[in-house]
Amino acid sequence: MAREVERKFLVRDGSWQERAEARISMVQFYLAVTGERSVRVRISNGSRARLTLKFGSDLRARDEFEYDIPLADAKEMQAFALGKVIVKTRHHVRHGGYLYEVDVFSGEHEGLVVAELETPDKVGNAALPDWLGREITGDIRYSNASLALNGFPPAVG
């Protein structure tokens, strides 16, 4: 089991793009969601599938279990998705010794760009990159599960 500790931000502008190291196309969907747990399937680059179980209501730190599953099974499970399927491209961007994951959403969530920083360190606001906007850590409306079930938060779309 891994404990996931993250901060989440809206992205202010595209200046991060010149620093992007990797790009991963993702399709993800939820099979079960409650206030304290979720079951998600993610297909990366159309070639790898993972089942993820998350437990806990604190969006900043939750228990997480991940398992590779057969790609064919993942594609078949998509028929059981709750809400909308999330389509996004994840970019890895380094800044100040930390790795940020910048998700550029498409499809139903076109226009949303969110950055995540997963680290147990306390990173002060002065050390954050300029391209980050408002912090949305803990705002349930921006969780991927909420985006799948409820769509864009009112302030975004």
Question: Distance (Å, rounded) from C-alpha 88 to C-alpha 106?
Answer: 6
Task: Exactly one of 30, 98, 100, 142 is catalytic; name it.
Answer: 30
Look up 100 and say whether it is catalytic: no
Nearest Cα to 59, choosing from 38, 44, 39?
38
Contact 41, 145 (CB under 8 A): no
Give me the amino acid identity at 80: F
Contact 115, 8 (CB under 8 A): yes
DSSP states along 85-115: EEEEEEEEEEETTEEEEEEEEEGGGTT-EEE
Catalytically annotated residues: 30
